[in-house]
Amino acid sequence: MGVDNAQREELRQKFVALAESGDPAIRRELVEAHLGLAEYLARRFSHRGEPVDDLVQVSSMALLKAVDRFDPGRGVEFSTYATHTIAGELKRHFRDKGWAVRAPRRMQELYLTLGDSIGRLSQELGRSPTIAELAAETRVSEEEVLEALEAGQAYRLASLDAPAPGEDEGETLASHLGDEDPRMSAAEERATLSPLIEALPPRQQLILHLRFFEGLTQLEIAGRLGISQMHVSRLLARSLAELRTAAEQG
Amino acid sequence: MPGSDEVRLSAPATTELPRLARLTASGLACRLGFSYDEVEDLRLAIDELCFSLIGTQGRPGVVHLMFSLDDETLQVEGTLESGERGPDPVHSGLSRKILEALVDEHEVRRNGQDQLTFWMRKRRLPIAG
């Protein structure tokens, strides 16, 4: 990563200072100094069919963990320690967050490509693209697009409920709606219709509320929450499947 | 229905049914120029409607599906023929609310002694730009 001795010593001093003070500014500086390493390692795993952005997120979180846990007194270079930690997290990501049902590899890749295309075309067109437009954009047939969307049903991310970067981890339906929301009746209606919804994670509750009680489209929800439309689709499909299972058990 | 197409399918009322229905419905919706958003809504609606007939575990019997389309509207009807009086269809207030947001019209009903039926209609929005 092209770090000379002087820089290495400077970094080491910063780790010592962080260990002593816990100063968040130093922590941030150290994280930023190694983001390139996190991205480099994420890209080394990018041929496995997961979006690079997701992998960079995983490795950046692992970098944070590495910075917090690194002990400068042990005589190991941080880059060595961080590489080990980040690669471990990336491998775990692939082990834990794969496909629930085996879909043909080509369909998995197409599904992931479609996620990017949907985002790009929606922005360009100012509306949700048609299946024909998606097929043209990804240079496959319309049937293949549909098959990939169907295959995507089998795709599960264990991090589905995790907040996207920059989102407040403690975000709840109530905090999103705010106390002064004039449409609390929708929330009341939701609570009356199904207490089962309350058992879902807050993020899924929020998306269900926006789609079915506030009438937002998937595209609008994606824009509002800063996540991909495909992610909204997956969360909705999963939430409804969970509600159906819960309804049968109840 | 002049100028319309119909597709009919019959399949066992097993857990494989929703996938078959989703694929057929989305393929036909694609011919009508439905957007990704609309196709995803349609897929969710089909899941919910199949659930109303066969639950999450499937039921004994056969489901007859009929898809019909004209220039901008897709209609899907599903009938479970169980040969015996089974449980009532699952169509809670929440389910109704969900389907109201996903499709233009829908209905779930008992149809005689041994049949449960769902019906839905979804119209594509005019494509802007």
The answer to whether the CB atoms of B48 and A244 lie below 8 A apart is yes
Q: How far is B72 from chain A (nearest CA, A)?
A: 13
Q: Spell out which residues of chain B touch residue A236, defining contact as CB-CB under 8 Å.
A: 40, 44
pLDDT of residue A173: 44
* CB contact A129 to B (< 8 Å): yes
pLDDT at A102: 53
Query: Residue B127: what pLDDT?
Result: 66
- Say whether pLDDT at A85 is over 50: yes
Pairs of CB atoms within 8 A across A/B:
98
Give residue A226's pLDDT band: very low, low, confident or very high (50, 70, 90). confident
Torsion sign over Cα B90, B91, B93, B99 = positive
Mutant choice from B36, B74, B108 vs A, greatest count of A C-beta within 10 A: B36
pLDDT in tens, A52-65: 777 888 899 899 98
pLDDT over threshold 50, residue A182: no
- How large is the average pLDDT for residues A70-77? 84
- pTM (2 decimals)? 0.67
Please name the amino acid found at residue A65. Answer: K
> What is the per-residue pLDDT for A190?
63
Residue at token pair 């009356």: A192
Instruction: Pick the residue from chain B with its C-alpha nearest to A210.
Output: B101
- Both tokens assigned to A191: 């609570």
pLDDT of A158 reads: 32
Span B49-77, average pLDDT: 93
Share of chain A above pLDDT 70, in %: 76
**pLDDT attached to residue B29:** 94
Question: How many helices (H) and strands (E) are present in chain B, helices listed first?
Answer: 3, 5
A117-149 exposure pattern, b = at least 16 Cβ within 10 A, e = fewer = bbbebbeeeebbbbbbbbbebbebebebbbbbb
* Residue B66 scores a pLDDT above 90: yes
Q: Please classify residue B103 by burial: count the beta carbons closer than 10 Å to its beta carbon, then call 0-12 exposed, 13-18 middle and 19+ buried.
A: buried
pLDDT of A106-149, one tens digit each? 887 898 889 889 989 998 999 999 999 999 999 999 999 999 98
Q: How many other CB atoms sit within 10 Å of the CB of residue B50? A: 27
At A97-116, the pLDDT tens digits run 555 445 677 887 898 889 88
Neighbours of A39 (CB within 10 A): 16
Scan residues 52-81 of A and list those with Cβ closer than 8 Å to B: none
Tell me, what's the pLDDT at A172? 41
Q: What pLDDT shows up at residue A155?
A: 62
Does the CB of B52 have a partner CB in chain A at under 8 Å?
no
Q: How confident is the prediction for chain A on average, in pLDDT? A: 79
pLDDT category at A157 given cuts 50, 70, 90 is: very low
Q: Decide if pLDDT at B100 tops 90.
A: yes
Higher pLDDT, A233 or A170: A233
Burial class (CB in 10 A: 0-12, 13-18, 19+), B121: middle
Average pLDDT for chain B: 89
> Given a cut of 50, is residue A231 above it in pLDDT?
yes
State whether the Cα torsion A126-A130-A133-A134 is positive or negative.
positive
Q: How far is CA B123 from the centre of its chain?
A: 14
Q: Which comes out higher in pLDDT, residue A120 or A154?
A: A120
Q: Residues of chain A with pLDDT > 90: what percent?
A: 22
The ipTM is 0.86
Nearest residue to B121 (alpha-carbon basis) of B68, B43, B58: B68
Residue A159 has pLDDT above 50, yes or no: no
